[in-house]
Amino acid sequence: MSKTPDSGKAEDDQPSTVEQYLVKDPERFALNMARMIEQAGKAASAWAEPREKGDVRDHVAEPVVDMVKTFSKLSEYWLADPQRALEAQTRLFSGYMTVWANAIQRTSNAAQDTEDAVKPERGDKRFLDPEWGRNAFFDFLKQAYLVTSRWAADLVEHAEGLDEHTRHKAGFYVKQVSNAISPSNFILTNPELFRETVASNGENLVRGMKMLAEDIAAGKGDLKLRQADYSPFEIGRNIATTPGKVVGRSDVAEIIQYEPATETVLKRPLLICPPWINKFYILDLNPQKSFIRWAVEQGHTVFVISWVNPDERHGTKSWEAYIREGLQYGLDTVEKATGERDVNAIGYCVGGTLLAAALALMAQEGDDRIKSATFFTTQVDFTYAGDLKVFVDEEQVAAVEKSMSEKGYLDGTKMATAFNMLRSGDLIWPYVVNNYMRGKDPLPFDLLYWNADSTRMAAANHSFYLRNCYLENNLSQGTMELAGRTVSLGDITIPVYNLASKEDHIAPALSVFLGSKYFGGTVEYVMAGSGHIAGVVNPPASNKYQYWTGGTPTGDFSQWIANATDHPGSWWPHWQGWIEAKDNTRVPARKPGKHMKTLGDAPGTYVKVRV
């Protein structure tokens, strides 16, 4: 018997016992099944009621149709040639035969020498329970599932003649289906769930159905999957707590100025443009993780744009509106508050894409207030965009636009679901199992609290973004039209600090690297360890991960990595050194409200509007 942890085999030789899977108290079990059905009825009611009232309209058919079309193209390749189809079927059958032979062998004395037909990937936590290897039934299910899912993934990889977008979608959909049908997701095929259900006489299912009903009600008819215990957190009390004042408010943004923490500050203020897909406080989760607080402590006068959570009133707010009423309004506010025109700017994710487009427009209009630009995990070229590109083609964008036209915005739950699907094995199914089958409350976690605090997307803004960036890639090609002008990234000649994250699935490091060549000035490309969030929110005190620096970001990406220098820890001090090298002039610290009326304490009011 294989004893490697990745195989899911037992670390000991204790035999599996049937008794642990037998109900001990049939009457109590039956009563709990009745209670579970009652709670399931409440869940069904929470789902049906808003639909009966017309508050919710389902558009489930659209993504399903796209998946079916994609799989049809994949099937067409394999079925077009009988020999090819036979070879594919033979590979699957051969895998099943190996699994079957292993199952037979495990009942003999040679069981100790049996090797799995296929092993889980390193880091796969679904099959860690010893019973996945110790019990012949569960071992068979595990291996049959892994054989099937690997075979399906290989069908996509080896399908010649598929265009890249279709191949990308097919691989993504196969992964979603594979994650969904894993035996770890079902009570009777997951030994841990089976044992817990028997041991509690089904009480776990009662709790789980109750939580499911609550989460559907919280989503107003859609499932709002809880990934953490959100109750301990309150914005402004123990999350987003860096002291500051709201010093400006427009229809789309509040501008927050933070209290200084040093006697002198850099002459150039710092304006941060976060994404509007989630709230700005990813950069201010708590004092230990806060980039905003750290920047204040380094002597920056920090201003942050806190985007509105849009509703029907904001449906026609376009990208130009977000530039004029958000970014440029922020620059106006910085100048009023500090008297300074020269500003350092940061853009994060789509906030960075907006910043890049704004800089190109401002270059043509003669607005030169931003003297350096830093981009956190930002794409300006979408040729090699991440898995979000799966959701973007003409048919899907048209469907999203049709959905948004009904209310003037896209529900925040739709974007949250899309982002969760990018890592469904980590962000969906473990919580489905833990919450609704084990009946256990998830643990408090500030990052997942933020992740669940999604915002709506204004219709005009979101449509412009999908079409001009993901669908048509107009920004990098110099064909994006803003304010009656055709803008070009080549007009951006200020210094750029371009941060990517090595394991980013939203803005892949390759995509960020290739986007660097379109700017007209010098670009400092830095690649952080970890992913889209952890790679950015990595305070020096944590002493985690690493970052890479190298030469000019041109040529082959893999060659750049091979020649890059690996630095342990956080990239934050490196960025601070880059900023100070541009201008390290210091002036007396600036207090919010000294030159203008304040509108309340940080983190403001816009951030507290929930979906």
Q: Which residues are catalytic?
A: 349
> Which one-letter DSSP state was computed for residue 327?
I
- The angle formed by the CA atoms of residues 240, 245 and 251, to the nearest 5 degrees, is 90
Give me the helix-helix angle, 61-80 and 164-180, nearest 10°.
110
SS3 of residue 196 by DSSP: helix
| CA gap 430, 424 in Å, rounded | 9
Largest CA distance in the chain: 84
- The candidate with the shortest Cα–Cα distance to 507, out of 396, 381, 400, is 381
The contacts of residue 317 (CB under 8 Å, 6+ apart) are 251, 252, 310, 325, 458, 460, 461
In degrees to the nearest 10, what's the CA dihedral of 55, 61, 63, 68?
170
Any idea which residue has 């037998």 for tokens? 22
Neighbours of 19 (CB within 10 A): 7
8 A C-beta contact, residue 386 and residue 544: no
Q: Give CA separation, 524 vs 273, 551, 552, in Å.
A: 19, 8, 7
Neighbours of 424 (CB within 10 A): 18
Joined together, the tokens standing for residue 240 give: 């987003």
Q: How does DSSP assign 233-259, residue by residue?
A: --BTTTBS---EEEEEE-SSEEEEEEP
> Which one-letter DSSP state was computed for residue 15?
P
Q: How does DSSP assign 502-555, residue by residue?
A: TT-SSS-HHHHHHHGGGSSS-EEEEEESS-TTTTTS--GGG--SEEEE-S-S-S
φ/ψ (deg, to 5) at 239? -150, 140
**Residue 498 CA neighbour count, 13 Å, CB half:** 32
- The candidate with the shortest Cα–Cα distance to 561, out of 526, 588, 535, 594, is 526
The contacts of residue 474 (CB under 8 Å, 6+ apart) are 468, 480, 481
- The candidate with the shortest Cα–Cα distance to 207, out of 427, 431, 35, is 35
The contacts of residue 365 (CB under 8 Å, 6+ apart) are 483, 485
How far does the chain reach from its first CA to its final CA, in angstroms? 51
8 A C-beta contact, residue 32 and residue 202: yes
- The candidate with the shortest Cα–Cα distance to 370, out of 500, 511, 532, 497, is 497
8 A C-beta contact, residue 605 and residue 235: no
